[in-house]
Amino acid sequence: MTDRIPNYRRNMIAFLGDYIGFALAMTLTSTTAILPDFVGRLTDSLVVVGVFTSVSTGAWLFPQLIFARFLITKERKKPYVILGGVIGRPLYLLYAVALGLGLGRYPVPALLLLLLVQFFFFVTDSLAAVAWLDMLAKALPEAQRGRMISIAQLISGVLSIGAGVMIAALLSADGPPFPNNYAVILAAAGVSLVLSLLACVFIVEPTEPVEEQRPSWSSYLPDLLSTLRQDRSFARVIMVRLLAGFDGLATGFYILFAIRELGLPPETVGLFTAAQTAGRILASLGLGRLSQRVGSHRVIQVATAISLTAPLTALALSLAGGRAGAATITIYAWIYVVIGVVTSAGMLGFMNYVLELAPAGSRPTYIGLFNTISGVLVLLPTAGGFLLGVSSYNVLFVLTAAVLAVAHVLSWHLPPARQARTMLAADPVTWPRKRI
């Protein structure tokens, strides 16, 4: 049946190539392990580590509503995927060159330039992401989107395990001196991003009817509020996403807790990167199948339950007075397995749910609104840094676990996306009040 869809095989391969290359690059520039450790070597300030993570997240989330409004009238979204990629994807490669030329000897300029690289990369990818997701929804049918994401996560996961081994070797005592070791890692990420952009070029984008005129902000903003009021399932998944996003309160500090408090050696960064990748692989197999068979709402429910175990594991080790050793490393690696599962569930669960829920002509608006509102989560890593400054890791882990527990409970109130969309079209005023 899929053979009858125009350019299905070509688009499937092109989307796979782009997703795999991009995912591998995100492993190499992980804001949960690699880059926080790099920033931690340039500064002792936990707040700076938190601000760095916040800027990365905020630069990707906040502009999406602006870009969504801009793309409403664009029949073809591919040019904007390419535009965002051409501007942003070579930046890590350029930063790696700067490190190789001696930038790492000057911590403050190195930090400021990395902050700029993160900001501009994620802003340009914010434009590309809104366009890419709409293009994906048009080019691949619902059942095949989950399949593509699952396959891509599986392949990129296997590749990322190799990347984790490479990272461990580069950051070990026998590896290149700092910052040349990080220069190699970031250069590999830059090359991977460029290759993923080349795969995008081969996507053949179908067309759909679009708005003839871009709405003014005075009418666009009330329409957004109306969407949230009428589509209660959409409002509900946003709420679950915001609460589930509280994992970001602690995520950037797990690696610092491991090295500074538990005394684990720096080369475990590579091991934890591989563990995170293993989590993505497991999720791509298990959650991908769950999404196809039962629905993306079940993926969200399973993922929020699993995410709760990360802060609880860290808390347990802290209370038990865990110290460096094989057992501690093995147990702590579970946290990064969980991070990998949750990362995978972001596409297979939350984003797939939104794509299934959104009417065809409103996809950019749904995507932009969902991600922009999620932008409030950008404050959490910085808040985590301040919280650590006035309290302790135990307080941070307890608070994170408490909010994640609430997110999991509320996730069970999400209806199946297809059912919600059908009922909303039939009765936009009362659905899902009758359902829930």
Query: Quick one: tokens of 88?
Result: 């942003």
Which domains can be identified in the chain, with CATH numbers? 2-205+218-426 (1.20.1250.20)
Q: Which amino acid is at 256?
A: L
pLDDT digits (tens, 9 = 90+) for 271-328: 887 788 888 888 878 887 887 788 888 999 999 999 999 999 999 998 887 666 778 8
pLDDT at 128: 92
Report the residue count for the chain.
436
47 contacts: CB under 8 Å, gap ≥ 6: 382, 385, 386, 389
Give the model's confidence band at 436: pLDDT under 50 very low, under 70 low, under 90 confident, else very high. very low
Average pLDDT over residues 77-82: 93
Average pLDDT over residues 218-243: 86
Give the model's confidence band at 399: pLDDT under 50 very low, under 70 low, under 90 confident, else very high. very high
pLDDT at 15: 93
Name the residue among 339, 342, 334 with its Cα closest to residue 302.
342
Q: Give the helix/strand (H/E) hosting 372.
A: helix 363-373
pLDDT at 277: 80
Cβ atoms of 49 and 39 closer than 8 Å: yes
Q: How far apart are CA 30 and CA 273, in angstroms?
A: 8
80 contacts: CB under 8 Å, gap ≥ 6: 67, 71, 74, 127, 128, 131
pLDDT at 422: 61
pLDDT digits (tens, 9 = 90+) for 241-250: 999 999 988 9
DSSP 305-320: HHHTHHHHHHHHHHHT
392 contacts: CB under 8 Å, gap ≥ 6: none
> pLDDT at residue 100 above 50?
yes
Per cent of the chain over pLDDT 90 is 31
pLDDT at 284: 79
Instruction: Kindly state the DSSP code that residue 348 receives in the 8-state scheme.
Output: I
Q: At what angle do helices 217-230 and 363-373 cross, to 10 degrees?
A: 80
Cβ atoms of 284 and 154 closer than 8 Å: yes
Backbone angles phi, psi at 231, to 5 degrees: -95, 85
The model's pTM: 0.72
> pLDDT at residue 426 above 70?
no
pLDDT digits (tens, 9 = 90+) for 255-269: 888 888 888 887 787
Name the residue among 191, 220, 199 with its Cα closest to residue 78.
199
Instruction: Kindly state the DSSP code that residue 245 receives in the 8-state scheme.
Output: G
What separation, in Å, do the N-terminal and C-terminal C-alpha atoms of the chain show?
35
> pLDDT at residue 383 above 60?
yes
Average pLDDT over residues 62-78: 85
Q: Is 343 exposed, middle or buried (0-12, 13-18, 19+ CB in 10 A)?
A: buried
Q: How far apart are CA 322 and CA 258, in angstroms?
A: 10
Mean pLDDT in the chain?
A: 84
pLDDT at 224: 82
Average pLDDT over residues 338-357: 87
155 contacts: CB under 8 Å, gap ≥ 6: 16, 20
